[in-house]
Structure 1
Amino acid sequence: MIQVNALPDDDRACGWYHTSQPRQAKPAHSGHSRARWAVLGAGYVGLAAARRLAERFPDDEVVLIEAQEVGFGTAGRNAGFAIDLPHDIGAADYIGDLAEANKVWNLNRFGQQQLVAQVERYGIPCELRHSGKYQAAVEPRGLAVLEAYRGGLDRLGAPYEVVSGDDLPDHIGTSFYKEALFTPGTILMQPSALVKGLADNLPANVTLYEHTPVSGVDYGDKITLSHAGGTLTVDQLVLANNAFGQHFGFLKGRFIPLFLYASLTRPLTAEEQSRLGGKDFWGVIPADPGGSTVRRTHDNRILIRNSFSFHPNGVGDRRKLMQFRENHRISFQRRFPMLPDVDFEYTWSGQLAMTRNHQSFFGKLAPNVYAALGCNGLGVTRGTASGVLLADWMAGERNDMVDFLLASPGPNRNPPEPFLSLGVNFSLWNTFRKAGLEA
């Protein structure tokens, strides 16, 4: 039996979780039971895979296992962007090979379509809106990125609008940025509310167990998952737990668990909203990768997201929350000097499952073991699409999107410690330093 030596343990202060509608978590698994299918991890990949397997095999029980509580973990801690466009940071124009970029674009839009269909079908109250996004810059380095990306978008034939710094206050209230590219295809939502709603509207043949961290796994003709309250024996296992997948005996040393930090203000008063101006709902991503993601939410709060840390075991360090909250305060003051008395109500961290070559794993790991792991920061769209398509492939279906995912070379192997930590930590420090005012 493989002992799982790292388990999710997120901080308690996620603003998205606390400001979304409360729900009653499903009971933890107990005793000894059997099922044909098990999906490990109830984030975007796991929820999508469990739903699709249940639809494909309506006479079978599909067990979905979550170590924490749905909406509390990684899937509920991102900035709430469901982005459609490809963004290849290794390419000069951020698009790269046109044929591959079109496949990524189609895949991301497929993921969006899956989410929109479920939100509309079940009336999930997650404030999902087709709002587009602004990619904004203030430093010469960031402005050069926007110029290069414009060329890539032209090659791709993707729509965009250039918004000058003089016009940006009418869009987002602040005059901080010098230029932005507005792309209309992005969807914004409240991420914790979204995954809570998806979990509460699963097909009847999906059994969800929450607060059930798996501590051991025995592979064979049947797969036995062990936890503190019992065991679950299944015929087929899907790993949908991102960087934690490497603790289950596969792809060890191929993920880089990064933590990104966010703070959410109290709601703005009516007078503060008037002082800010601009649209009442928007999202900004930074042109520079070390910069700040910023959102104005449906309940008139401001989100600031920046600052990274690296923790090889996938468990964050709560001591960094207050340290990076100060970074958020500086970033907020730069952008919103007209709101000097607005403080943060929540500060939290969320994990990104990154890989060195920005490739995911999709497919079969071993007999009866399948996975879609390593979303590289695109969990909302790419994760949803991958979960659906993995279940389709397991059911015997092939299409262009499945073939594209199967063709991935998978994640590169990381260098050994201490070189990995030294390299990643230096890269993070240098990225944040070079971002300058973009941070």
Structure 2
Amino acid sequence: MSVHQAARTPSDRSVSGWYGLLPPPKAPEVLRGRHKADWIIVGAGFAGLAAARRLSQLVPDDRIVVIDAQRVGWGAAGRNSGFMIDLPHELGGENYGSSQAHDKKRIRMNRAAIEFSGSAAKEYGLQSHFVRSGKIHGAATSHGLRALHDFEGHLTGLSEPFEQLDAADMKRITGTDFFLGGTFTPGTVMAQPAGFIRGLASGLSERVEIFENSPVTTLRPGKEHKVQTLEGEVVAPRLILAVNGHLESFGFFKRRLLHIFTYASMTRQLSETEQATLGGEPHWALIPGDPMGSTLRRIGDRIVVRNTFTYNPAMTTNDRQIQKIGHAHDRSFKARFPMLGDVAMDYRWGGHLCLSLNSAPAFGEIEDRVYVAGCCNGLGTVQGTLYGMLTAELAVGTRHPMVNDALEEPPPSKLYPRPVMAVGAPARLWLMQKRAGREL
């Protein structure tokens, strides 16, 4: 088997608001020296920790080692908006949906992942980071209302419940008259993503060894797989790669993964006077009617705004890009909450998404006893959990029915040639975001 050298390792910039709200973690356990295990999992995000938890249930006497390049919760797992969505959520679609048959399967699988996470929240006392609150699709334009109408029609065809919200309902919930209407769906869980993932790692630490700040530099598959970091190595007969887009950094799925960054800002704490001026409910979560619009969350005395997608094939962003897009967040925030005046942002950050052109995951056994769970297509919380859980099932050989469902998915399709992607991907993102208009 070939040796896989890491072309790059994760290096996320600036602290996310979710991580910043947590107390400082204890000192990391860094991988040093030589270790032997039954299982190696690379990546301690939603996929990696779901795989670790499921393995600890299926093979409780096995030694399971998890290795992460950064602190748990610092990377992509702690940088998303925290929506664990049960319904179809195709970012490139007009109404977030696909074919009815595919969407019904996706709903069933997403809900299984949510229940798996829910059992972990109960087991480890993480209910404050895992709230079954549902979500709102909000529309600020006639275009957005048409998108909501299409979305509701798709849900009706799927026999899925929803509640229509008018402008008065939206103001009662959000405190702003920016929105013309909305659609509430009850099945989404709202997570504090960094808090949930750190709590999950802490809960698993009694059964699973977790090494942080230990970027993997080399993979040597064989009868005994060897994973090397700067200061240590682990050997084991079975290896799970749960690194999402960084699968390509190790040479897997070359020219098949689309590396997109999205960005968020979180306000400082709102004063009691500001909260009274705003009104509305203290906790709510909203995604835009148009997939390229602004996502919003209110978490008591803070508001998070997330928008703008950029094509970053080098799998990194920089402070300048984060700050530039932060100005767009400020404009979006002021348009929605003019009654709050100039509220400063405490945190600004970017996060890496991995998509494929055909919205397919990277899942399965790619070399002998080497398994992958990645390319979550913008749904890392729920699909990362799903494919991590199912990768463990596949590797152990239980043949869980949903493993077959996952294996029936096509592989990520090939990207267009690099010159086409270099011009076409940013242009398409620009056009889609331009179409969103006031929704952005």
1:368, 1:393 → 2: CA distance? 10
Q: After the TM superposition, which of the residue ranges 51-60 and 205-214 deviates more from structure 2? A: 51-60
2:224, 2:198 → 1: CA distance? 31
- Taking structure 1 as reference, are residues 28 and 203 closer, same or farther at Cα in structure 2, changes over 3 Å only? closer
- Taking structure 1 as reference, are residues 192 and 371 closer, same or farther at Cα in structure 2, changes over 3 Å only? same
Partner of 2:155: 153
1:203, 1:401 → 2: CA distance? 27
Match of 1:434, SS state, is helix
> Which one of 135, 138, 158 corresponds to residue 136 of structure 1?
138
1:432, 1:92 → 2: CA distance? 13
1:161, 1:312 → 2: CA distance? 39
* Structure 1 position 2 matched with structure 2 position 4: yes
Partner of 1:353: 354
Partner of 2:72: 70
- Taking structure 1 as reference, are residues 196 and 287 closer, same or farther at Cα in structure 2, changes over 3 Å only? same
Residue identity in the other structure for 1:154: T
* Structure 1 position 122 matched with structure 2 position 124: yes
8 Å CA contact 1:94, 1:148 repeated in 2: no
8 Å CA contact 2:129, 2:193 repeated in 1: no
2:99, 2:4 → 1: CA distance? 40
8 Å CA contact 2:293, 2:436 repeated in 1: yes
2:383, 2:60 → 1: CA distance? 25
Partner of 2:186: 184
Deviation at 1:180, TM superposition (A): 0.5
> Which one of 206, 218, 226 corresponds to residue 208 of structure 2?
206
Q: How many residues align?
A: 438
Partner of 2:292: 290
8 Å CA contact 1:34, 1:234 repeated in 2: yes
Match of 1:99, SS state, is helix
8 Å CA contact 1:68, 1:210 repeated in 2: yes
2:437, 2:103 → 1: CA distance? 30
1:413, 1:13 → 2: CA distance? 33
- Taking structure 1 as reference, are residues 238 and 142 closer, same or farther at Cα in structure 2, changes over 3 Å only? same
Deviation at 1:266, TM superposition (A): 0.7
Deviation at 1:409, TM superposition (A): 0.6
Match of 1:313, SS state, is coil
8 Å CA contact 2:96, 2:291 repeated in 1: no
2:95, 2:140 → 1: CA distance? 19
Partner of 1:377: 378
2:29, 2:90 → 1: CA distance? 41
1:217, 1:93 → 2: CA distance? 41
2:46, 2:230 → 1: CA distance? 25
Partner of 1:216: 218
> Which one of 19, 32, 40 corresponds to residue 42 of structure 2?
40
**TM-score of the superposed pair, with normalisation by structure 1:** 0.96
8 Å CA contact 2:19, 2:73 repeated in 1: yes
Deviation at 1:89, TM superposition (A): 5.6
Deviation at 1:21, TM superposition (A): 3.0
CA shift digits 1:342-392 (9 cap, x unpaired): 211110001111111111022110101001110011111111121112111
Residue identity in the other structure for 1:130: R
> Which one of 190, 193, 198 corresponds to residue 196 of structure 1?
198
Q: After the TM superposition, which of the residue ranges 49-58 and 125-134 deviates more from structure 2? A: 125-134
Aligned ranges 1:222-301 → 2 under 5 Å: 222-298=224-300, 300-301=301-302
1:334, 1:101 → 2: CA distance? 34
Q: After the TM superposition, which of the residue ranges 192-201 and 354-363 deviates more from structure 2? A: 354-363
Partner of 1:84: 86
Deviation at 1:88, TM superposition (A): 4.1
8 Å CA contact 2:226, 2:235 repeated in 1: yes
Deviation at 1:313, TM superposition (A): 2.2
- Taking structure 1 as reference, are residues 204 and 146 closer, same or farther at Cα in structure 2, changes over 3 Å only? same
Deviation at 1:13, TM superposition (A): 2.6
1:140, 1:63 → 2: CA distance? 52
Residue identity in the other structure for 1:347: R
2:107, 2:175 → 1: CA distance? 30
2:414, 2:225 → 1: CA distance? 26
1:125, 1:287 → 2: CA distance? 29
1:3, 1:213 → 2: CA distance? 12
1:25, 1:139 → 2: CA distance? 49
RMSD: 1.5
Partner of 1:320: 321
2:53, 2:354 → 1: CA distance? 23
Match of 2:106, SS state, is helix
Structure 1: which 5+ runs fail to align? none
Partner of 2:23: 21
Aligned ranges 1:390-409 → 2 under 5 Å: 390-409=391-410
1:14, 1:42 → 2: CA distance? 17
2:229, 2:82 → 1: CA distance? 32
8 Å CA contact 1:26, 1:209 repeated in 2: yes
8 Å CA contact 2:40, 2:66 repeated in 1: yes
- Taking structure 1 as reference, are residues 236 and 423 closer, same or farther at Cα in structure 2, changes over 3 Å only? same
8 Å CA contact 1:31, 1:229 repeated in 2: yes
Deviation at 1:255, TM superposition (A): 0.8
